[in-house]
Structure 1
Amino acid sequence: MLGDLIGEFEGRDTGRRVLSTGDGHVVVEVSFEGSGNYYGTAINGFGTYESELRPDGTLHGEGQGVDMTADGQTVSWQGVGIGHFTEGGGTSWRGALFFSSASPQFERLNAVVGLFEFEASADGKSTGKFYEWK
C-alpha cells in the first residue's frame, strides 16, 4: 500500500544514447537532471537509466542517481521499473526506488522502499512522485 509522500521531481533529459539494436532488441540510455524535494527539503539531482523495449511493446528500465541539498547533503538511489509509450511519444513509468544516505536528515530513506510514478514527454521533460511502500 502507498504510504507517505517522499517527494516530487521535475526534470529534463540531458542526453540520450542507443546502446543496442541487435535482433530488434533495443536498449536506450537516458541521462537527466532536475529539482524537487524529499520530505519538503529542496534537492537538485541527476541520474541515468537504461530502458529496454520488450517484445510486447512495454519497457523495462533500471537506473541510478544522486540528489543533493543546497548545504551538500546527498541521497543516492537505484531504481527499477516498467513503462509504456504514451500518446505523443512520451513514456509513463511505475517502479521501485532504493535509497542510501549518510545524512541524518535523510536516514529515514535507508529503511524505505520507494514506489514511483514518473511521466516523461517526447521533448524530454519529466515529472515524478515518490511514495513510501508500507
Structure 2
Amino acid sequence: MLGDKLGEEQGKVTGRRVLPGDDYRYVKMEITFETTCTILGQQGMNMGTYTIFERIPGQIYGEGQGIFMTADGAGAIWNGHGVGRPTSDGIAFAAGIAFQTDAEKLSRLNGVLAVVEHTTDNDGNARSVIYEWKA
C-alpha cells in the first residue's frame, strides 16, 4: 500500500548519451540529472544517472543510481528501476528505489522501498514525487 510522502524534487537533465544496446535491435540512452530535493524534511541535492531503452513499442524500461546530499553533508545513495512511457511532452516513469545511508537524520530510508512518480519534459525539466511503499 502506498504510504507517506517522503519527498519531492525538481531540476534539470544535465546530460544525454546514446549507447549500444545488448543486441542490434535497439539502443540505450543514458540520462544524467541534477535536482533540488527535499526528503524527510531535509533539503539537499539529488544527482543520478539512469539508462533507458524501449522494451516493446510504447514501453520503456530504466535502471539507475545516484546520491542525495543534504546541505550539511549527510548523504544517502539510491538504486532503482522502473517502467515508463513516452508522453506528448517527454517521458513519464514509475520506479521503485532503495536507499542506503549511515546518516542518522536519513536513517528511516534504510530498509524502505520508495515508489517514485517521475516526469521529464522535452526541455529537460525533471520532477519527481517520492512515496514510501508499506507492506
Give the TM-score of the pair, scaled to structure 2.
0.94
* TM-superposed deviation, 1:24: 3.0
Corresponding position of 1:93: 93
> 1:81 and 2:60 equivalent?
no
Q: Which residue of 1 aligns with 2:50?
A: 49
Q: d(CA) in 1 for partners of 2:58 and 2:45? A: 32
Identity %: 38
Task: Give SS of 1:119's match.
Answer: strand
Equivalent residue, structure 1, for 2:16? 16
Matched with 2:7 is 7
Q: C-alpha displacement at 1:121, in angstroms?
A: 0.1
Equivalent residue runs for 1:108-123 within 5 Å: 108-123=108-123
How far off is 1:129 after superposition?
0.5
2:76 and 2:11 map into 1 onto residues whose CA distance is 17
Aligned-pair distance for 1:57? 2.4
Deviation at 1:58, TM superposition (A): 0.7
What are the superposed Cα offsets for residues 99-130 of structure 1, whole Å, 9 maximum, x if unpaired? 00100001110010000100100111110001
Question: Secondary structure of the equivalent of 1:105?
Answer: helix
Q: Distance in 2 between matches of 1:103 and 1:118?
A: 25
The alignment's C-alpha RMSD in Å is 1.1
Report how far residue 56 of structure 1 moved.
2.6
- After the TM superposition, which of the residue ranges 90-99 and 14-23 deviates more from structure 2? 14-23
Greater than 4 Å deviation, 4+ residue runs: none
Letter of the 1:13 partner, please give it: V
The residue that corresponds to 2:26 in the other structure is 25
Query: C-alpha distance in 1, partners of 2:30/2:95?
Result: 17
In structure 2, distance between residues paired with 1:26 and 1:123: 21
User: Which whole-Å CA distance do the structure 1 matches of 2:56 and 2:107 have between them?
Assistant: 40
Which residue identity lines up with residue 25 of structure 1 in the other structure? Answer: Y
Alignment partner of 2:132: what SS? strand
Answer with 70-79 or 18-27: which moved more: 18-27
Per the normalisation by structure 1, the TM-score is 0.95
**Structure 1 residues without counterparts, runs of 5 or longer:** none
1:72 paired residue number: 73
Structure 2 stretches lacking a partner, 5+ long: none
Q: Tell me the CA shift for residue 25 of structure 1.
A: 1.0
